[in-house]
Structure 1
């Protein structure tokens, strides 16, 4: 989603804001803009495109030096990505200036009301109603005006606001949409993401729902909408600026693929003890809940996290005496089965700020269900609102396509499956010793896979350069893996990549198999190998170009495919982690060979904080 930054202090505001925005461009890169105050006037510059396009504009149209300001990098949700629709936005008299993340759900009604009262609108955005509302209800007191307008706004949003009448002040609000304050030496920062301000400060405070933060030369004041003063409790960020650097890698995506052995090791750290699984975050949750009270487990997520959830479903269903259902977050809120206190609902989100997942969490809690969050952000909205949070500890992921998020989420789901199986004495008890043994070795096996596959995948990616279509097939857990591989190729290489359960190809999709069309056949589940071989033979009979992905020593697959990619063999439940590596690398190299920006795919943003 879009990114917000703000600054007040003694340094050049536009220099710092531009630097902060460059660290947020993974959240939005359709357009960018800044508003800077020199304590007398407020100037605005906006440009379509990425931050460097805004910087180029400032070379041509420099701004007066100011010590405070706000900035925004946009991922368009309402209105096309144009200069006119770029933030900051103001009312027609340029009294108030607003940058906004989120959605104002009742913007049409508000806009109609304002038009009836003589206001004129110039953009296609939902955001424009905010400065017009501020102008319409202006009390003469900046903070009081903001408080008066907030009840009119429905939806989730984060706002940073400046006023011509108070050019030394920034007001910030967070409502179900992340916005944090950063504390510096005689200066303060605002950001929708820690990464933007980490080179300036590691002391932060996430603004909570119902709070207003006022940044001025007098300092930082946080209070409730009702006016009750709040002493912000500062948090120290564990991440370092080096974590947000590409280091020697050309792209964040490649860096994050290569980081997976290290990050999986961090995910397992402190959770594998003396051949047992111990998840400290679950202790208080399990002390209050009786696992036997649950009659069903729901797993809810979006995109790549949804695919991780599908793996979790298949593992848990085979190990527990409970039905497990996996749902897409955006569907779950409106289409779900019976929900009550007998449901355990697991929510998965890398950022912990995915709007659809947060709405689904709200729905589950409304029905009295117990909730567990699996996220990479301990201080996210999802983490704060779930009954229990298990952090993946995977470090920052800045490339839009999720890679290490996927493998660490599956790792957590495997740990959770083991704990729940032990608590319920489920049918998978006999599998636990071998699973734990192989989890200990998992980081090393992922490292081996990277070494074995990186060069070969780079070569195969050349095959995709002139292709428009590609198919992935698999059975069981391999089918889930095919779905994730197809998503990565769609995101990064803009290939029309489709995933199919291998046995379903002959029920219609075989009509699309033509001579030379590339097909990736996944065969990592031993008990399904013979059936998969039959499906590959059916495809080869139509002259497709088939690349097999299988385990070391599998000569049966290698004899019938055009090329084969070998990976280490581990426990079947861990294979979706190991086999994800060559598919991630294929998407990366296919994207680069086709000339695309793999870190910032068109039309996509990292953290979708709107529904």
Structure 2
């Protein structure tokens, strides 16, 4: 979840490193640092806070210029966010410099060993053992020393390393943690994520598990830890720099909310046809696996992706005659039911690098289960390790709070449910024609939602300025949507927002309803509307301030709430996509009203690559 960058080439490394770090700060912004070599010495500068704080420090007190270096923006996992704990970290003699993403699970044992050998470690981090081990086992050969040390490290990690005695080299390693090489003309780049590289190159190679990359000013070599050379298969990135620019928006979160109609169109493109749904990847998967009769489906994901998975569970259960479970990825590895070759696992991750989801995937594969991934990133770890991957094509998402990832994941799940219903002759086959019609108009309906709700939500957000508590209620799919809306308000506006199944309020939660407390009541599922209205009346009887979200022309809901927001009516399975729009906008505007950085919420990072 921290961000690693590196550069080696013909130009000054410092401005490249700083620029790349700024584009990666959604991965962590507790501290930042760089190390730059001028072929004689290695200059280091680290600062607590954002990359801009590091940049200001370098302007006041420059370090020697050089044409190669490494950098880091940190999300603290071991050790407080301090300058001392910031990366790059080095050994006591400043011979080796390391930037690290991930967790060294056995660092305590390694630290005890190093201390027993007379080394005096200075920080609270797990990372520091790496440069000390490199110094302790130094053979004089940079590559050989790295090969000795890496097998001693347990965990998932990515590293970029520089050595004082080998100032013209950078060595990079990936173990179940993303690290990408970017290729330029006479230069090379390292990054934890693609967006940092797009200003410089679109030709990349994700370092695979257990591979070591040796970067010099004349060459990039990929080797196994045993020394065997590997010819990297380079790929081209489809994104362009314009997709990373804010354009006329003040924040990436708002930009990405507004991009959802186009993102959904890309998810549907070439898959939604006049006659049905075609997903060649799934066809190939079924042909190879011969999985004609899965007995159980498990959807594993974390955070917002888990909420999309909960929507998918309800859709798949309706469309198929198969038990479907939506599991939290971080719990799945330790606790799960039967897994075998008759189990289909659907793993969802925007980045494809979420550590908990990847661990769940490994657990599933170990038991012989088949895995279909839904992800936004090509060549991600999740994509590489799955039997089949459905890309959402949502485009880069740089705000920490996921928005278009959520709506495109649900869209992909709906497409998948249609394909599976056809292949497995599910009981929901009869719903497919109506669902296809709704999918054809989905992007336009989302556009209408943005137009219909943006101004009203902006005004309602003012109500949250002096509130510390807010409740969301709903039934069925609306309850799952309430969970996602609450998460967004927690992430971005730092509101104590809680979601409840509306029918459960009377079983205890009603005690929290006090006069004037804001409640958002979701009533988009027609077959549950009467019961939802009864629950709204129960809340109103306790004098709550209720905002209803329902479909256009629903006078029954509007009659029992204080304020109503209308959205277009669509197929019930797609209402969680449409109704997500006002909740995303509410979180955004509430965060703005309350004075917070909506793109970079405190204590959070975008891609959670540690467990």
Fold match (TM-score > 0.5): yes
Shift of 1:274: 2.3
**Secondary structure at 2:550's aligned position in 1?**
strand
In the TM superposition, 1:153-168 aligns within 5 A as 153-168=153-168
Which residue matches 1:108?
108
Name the CA distance, whole Å, in 1 between partners of 2:580 and 2:304: 11
In the TM superposition, 1:57-68 aligns within 5 A as 57-68=57-68
Which residue matches 2:251?
251
**Secondary structure at 1:607's aligned position in 2?**
coil
Name the CA distance, whole Å, in 1 between partners of 2:39 and 2:397: 37
Which residue matches 1:306?
306
Per-residue CA distance 1:366-402 (angstroms, 9 max, x = gap):
0000000000012100000000000001000000000
Which residue matches 1:224?
224
**Secondary structure at 1:390's aligned position in 2?**
strand
* Contact 2:186-2:218 within 8 A present in 1 as well: no
* Contact 1:291-1:420 within 8 A present in 2 as well: no
**Secondary structure at 1:372's aligned position in 2?**
strand
Shift of 1:209: 1.2
Which residue matches 1:454?
454
In the TM superposition, 1:439-518 aligns within 5 A as 439-518=439-518
Which residue matches 2:280?
280
Which residue matches 1:34?
34
In the TM superposition, 1:525-544 aligns within 5 A as 525-544=525-544
Name the CA distance, whole Å, in 2 between partners of 1:158 and 1:464: 41
Per-residue CA distance 1:212-261 (angstroms, 9 max, x = gap):
11111231111111111111111111100111111110000000000000
* Contact 2:286-2:292 within 8 A present in 1 as well: no
- TM value normalised by structure 2: 0.99
Shift of 1:278: 0.5
In the TM superposition, 1:255-404 aligns within 5 A as 255-404=255-404
2:263 corresponds to 1:240: no
Which residue matches 1:126?
126
Name the CA distance, whole Å, in 2 between partners of 1:15 and 1:538: 59
In the TM superposition, 1:192-203 aligns within 5 A as 192-203=192-203
Name the CA distance, whole Å, in 2 between partners of 1:486 and 1:478: 12
Name the CA distance, whole Å, in 1 between partners of 2:169 and 2:447: 51
Which residue matches 1:25?
25
Name the CA distance, whole Å, in 1 between partners of 2:218 and 2:561: 70
Name the CA distance, whole Å, in 2 between partners of 1:418 and 1:67: 53
Name the CA distance, whole Å, in 2 between partners of 1:233 and 1:289: 26
In the TM superposition, 1:595-610 aligns within 5 A as 595-610=595-610
Name the CA distance, whole Å, in 2 between partners of 1:273 and 1:580: 25
Residues 90-99 or 57-66, more deviating: 57-66
Per-residue CA distance 1:412-431 (angstroms, 9 max, x = gap):
00011111111111110110
Shift of 1:316: 0.7
Name the CA distance, whole Å, in 2 between partners of 1:278 and 1:302: 27
2:129 corresponds to 1:98: no
Name the CA distance, whole Å, in 2 between partners of 1:238 and 1:293: 36
Which residue matches 1:177?
177
Shift of 1:291: 4.2
Residues 218-227 or 597-606, more deviating: 218-227
The gaps in structure 1 that reach 5 residues or longer are none
Name the CA distance, whole Å, in 2 between partners of 1:369 and 1:526: 37
Give the CA RMSD over aligned residues. 0.7
2:64 corresponds to 1:79: no
**Secondary structure at 1:579's aligned position in 2?**
helix
Per-residue CA distance 1:399-454 (angstroms, 9 max, x = gap):
00000000000000001111111111111011000000110110000000000000
2:552 corresponds to 1:552: yes
Per-residue CA distance 1:559-593 (angstroms, 9 max, x = gap):
11000000000000000000000000000000000
* Contact 1:296-1:322 within 8 A present in 2 as well: yes
2:9 corresponds to 1:9: yes
Per-residue CA distance 1:147-206 (angstroms, 9 max, x = gap):
110100000110000000001111000110011111111111111111111101111111
**Secondary structure at 2:427's aligned position in 1?**
coil
* Contact 1:103-1:126 within 8 A present in 2 as well: yes
Per-residue CA distance 1:123-167 (angstroms, 9 max, x = gap):
110000000000111011001000110100000110000000001
